[in-house]
Amino acid sequence: MRFEASFSVEVDEYGRIAHECVDYSLLPLRYERLTLELDEPMPRRQIGYAIVWNDDRVVHAAAVVSDRLRIDLDLAVPAGDHAFWFLCAGLDPGVTIKGRAVVEGRLDLAADAAADPG
């Protein structure tokens, strides 16, 4: 399964971005890859992401310095609401950052069973 979402977000007055770029309420999945691609390179800037469950727990997060962030994941996520956040710091305030997030994974019913203790 592959999901793609474009984003366009303005950098805040402190040079930061915290943008929910993909929001899901889906079947249980095992995420295999997350790719964030920016329309314009941001050399030597901190680019990161977080995956957040509906109870506001961060279940996976990472950061690298690059204009393209591609992460191979092995992350099982049960059915329900969760979101991908695109995070940056050290940018010029007021600038608009555009790009896309691509999430790849497969249906994983075992992820749902593992999350349900009852």
Is the overall model pTM greater than 0.75, yes or no?
no
Is the pLDDT reported for residue 65 higher than 60? no
3-state secondary structure of 52: strand
Q: Which of 46, 33, 55, 42 is nearest to 96 (CA)?
A: 42
As given in the structure block, the two tokens for residue 52 are 């957040």
**What total of structural domains would you count in the chain?**
1
Which residue type is seen at 116? Answer: D
20-24, 94-98, 112-116, range with greatest mean pLDDT: 94-98
The whole-number pLDDT of residue 34 equals: 76
Alpha-carbon gap, residue 56 to 81, rounded angstroms: 10
Residue 106 or residue 69, greater confidence:
106
Strands 2-10 and 29-38, sheet pairing: unpaired
Percent of the chain whose pLDDT exceeds 70: 61
User: Which residues touch 43 (CB under 8 Å, ≥6 apart)?
Assistant: 67
Give the mean pLDDT of 20-45.
Answer: 70
pLDDT digits (tens, 9 = 90+) for 67-95: 566 677 777 777 776 777 777 777 788 88
- 82: CATH: 2.60.120
Structural domain containing residue 27: 2-115
Top mean pLDDT of 40-49, 77-86, 103-112 is at 103-112
